[in-house]
Structure 1
Amino acid sequence: MRNRERTHKYTMLFIGAIVSLLWIYPFYLVFINSIKTKAGIFEGTLGFPSAPTLENYPTAFAELDFLLTFFNSVIVTGGSIFIIVIFTSMAGYALSRKPGKSSTLVYFLFAICMLIPFQSIMIPLVSLFGAVDMLNRMGLAIMYLGLGSSLAVFLYVGAMKGIPKALDEAAIIDGCNRFQVYWYIMLPMLKSTTVTVIVLNAIWFWNDYLLPSLVINKEGMYTIPLKTFYFFGEYSTQWHLALAALVIAMIPIIILYMFLQRYIIDGISDGAVK
């Protein structure tokens, strides 16, 4: 019995190691080629450079106008996440505390929306916002609210169902109204779920290229993914600078994930089970 358990243990460790290597390999390629010259990349993509160089990073930093594009990305990502957390947590509270056919219908509409691919609504969405002159950062944040609400509401409803209604009733007896119950009691108790919503959406919004490329068309408002496309010309591609720019763009979101990762598993677990 012990030998069988040990065999299963080492098999799972082996499979985990293989999966980890497969997951890390693309990051290895990006980093290893970001410290090569343009000629060095074409000489060998997979190997370690014979003469590593860090000159690509300051050049890419300057070409990206990084401080401005970083600020734009923070505004778009942070603003979108803020309104998603506020609106979806309130929706989750209402749906979990007001059971009934209408609440169930609304909840399943949110859940079904997770199955709709963005590409199927891309053209009518941009046309609609263009008709009301909302092709800007505010319009982009509202689009992200609509696109990101499904998963967030799903997680919040599942997490709130695990919180006893007696807390609401006790707070109301003490003089709180419904909004105060939500703001001072429910939302603080959903910290892990909120962090999960923040991290999942931050990774999406920070790295998104397609939707911002359709919505943000003004110079000086470009996010990092849009500005990175500057290195991909019509007749040539500055791979060494593009890959250095990608590494620079990944650093902030990796730091965010490292600080908040301990909350993610708890948040997903809270939102997945009643």
Structure 2
Amino acid sequence: MNTSRSYNSRIFVAECLAILLALVFLTPFYFAVINSFKSFGDLLTDSAGWPKSWHPGNYSRAWSLLRFPRVFGNSLLITVIANAGLVVISAMAAHRMIRVPTRFNKGVFGLFVASMIIPFQSIMIPLVKVVSALGIQNSYVGIIICYFGFGTMLSVFLYHGYMKSIPKEMEESAVVDGCSPYGVFWRIVFPLLKPMTVTVLLLNSLWIWNDFLLPLLILSSPGLRTIPLAASSFFAQYTKQWDLGLASLVLGIIPIIIFFLAMQKHIIEGITAGSVKG
């Protein structure tokens, strides 16, 4: 009986701590949403309380000033193409490293892991010079290629751990039946990677969709701006329109929240399987 009570009390304490931690993480969302409905004057005098009068017009003004459909389309195009490329490149690379464990492949995987600790700020200037020399600066191609380069490390690492749980015998049986190497990967292996693929898609989508620094370095044309880059126009050196800026940021995070809620089951499954089986 005492053991049962002790166990229940531990669960209760753990749940309380989890709720408190969740509230801490939700605090920025509270401030962003609540203040996006305030007038600029109310926001400056009371940023924590509820609005004295609601101003949903902030969203329509932010929508028109940012040309939101345009910047939303830019963010969506870059995120979708970069994610598709990262999934294909990373999954195939991880499969090769797992199934052909040569010294070279092990060394390459070690380089992928080691490269994750390199700060992006330390390579910004060389990156801009290389992109400019290749003639792909201020273009969709340039920024998508950059996302390929910087996103492959984590994606390969996640796929590498998950693929260890896939029996090699399944692939050998497909080869005996006459399946080509690419057929084995796309018909046998890749469908089994669905949970981890969803996880990779979410993590990379969060990063690419919310990224500000890389688009700032690569994209200079107003017609190519992403949502974070466009929203920064409300925060100038001498004037900061917090009401419109927060409204634009709330508009920008809605698609990611919807994607996360729709794929939550697969995300948890992928992270759990990758950590336990890998």
- Confirm or deny a common fold (TM above 0.5): yes
d(CA) in 1 for partners of 2:54, 2:221? 36
**Which residue of the partner structure matches residue 36 of structure 2?**
34
Partner of residue 255 from structure 2, selected from 224, 243, 252? 252
Q: 1:112 Cα shift?
A: 1.0
Determine whether 1:171 maps to 2:174.
yes
- TM-score, normalised to structure 2's length? 0.96
Percent identity (aligned): 39
1:7 maps to what in 2? 9
Structure 2: how far apart are the matches of 1:165 and 1:30?
49
Does residue 232 of structure 1 match 2:235? yes
Q: Which residue of 2 aligns with 1:80?
A: 82
CA distance, structure 2, for counterparts of residue 126 and residue 259 of structure 1: 37
Equivalent residue letter for 1:228: A
**Separation of aligned partners in 1, 2:217 and 2:176:** 50
Instruction: Please report how far the alpha carbon of residue 202 of structure 1 lies from its aligned counterpart in structure 2 after TM superposition.
Output: 0.2
Structure 2 partner of 1:162? 165
Output aligned runs, 1:192-231, within 5 Å: 192-231=195-234
Residue 210 of structure 1 aligns with an amino acid whose one-letter code is: L
Distance 1:6 1:216 in 2: 55
The answer to whether the 8 A contact 1:158-1:270 is kept is: no
The one-letter amino acid of 1:206's match is: W
- Alpha-carbon displacement from aligned partner over 1:98-124 (angstroms, at most 9, x marks no partner): 012112111111111111111111111
- For 1:217, the aligned partner's letter is S
Q: Which amino acid aligns with 2:46?
A: G
- Read off the aligned partner of 1:62 and give its amino acid letter: S
SS at 2:55 equivalent: coil
Distance apart, 1:234 and its partner CA = 2.7
Residue among 148, 151, 165 paired with 1:148: 151
Counterpart CA distance in 1 for 2:112 and 2:142 is: 21
Q: Distance in 2 between matches of 1:43 and 1:105?
A: 57
CA RMSD of aligned residues (A): 1.0
Output the TM-score relative to the length of structure 1: 0.97
How much has 1:144 moved relative to structure 2? 0.8
User: Once the two structures are superposed, what CA deviation does each residue of 1:170-225 show, in whole Å capped at 9, x if it has no partner?
Assistant: 11111111111011111111001111000000000000000000000112111111
| Structure 2: stretches of 5+ with no match in the other structure | none
Task: For residue 99 of structure 1, give the secondary structure of its aligned residue in structure 2.
Answer: coil
Aligned counterparts of 2:236 and 2:93: Cα–Cα separation in 1: 45
Q: Partners in 1 of 2:260 and 2:64 — Cα distance?
A: 26
Q: Does residue 111 of structure 1 match 2:122? A: no
Deviations 1:154-179 (A, max 9, x none): 11111111111111111111111111
- Displacement of 1:271 in angstroms is 2.8
Aligned 8 A contact 1:154 1:271 in 2: no
SS at match of 2:263: helix
> What's the counterpart of residue 129 of structure 1?
131
Flag structure 1 segments of 5+ consecutive residues without an equivalent: none
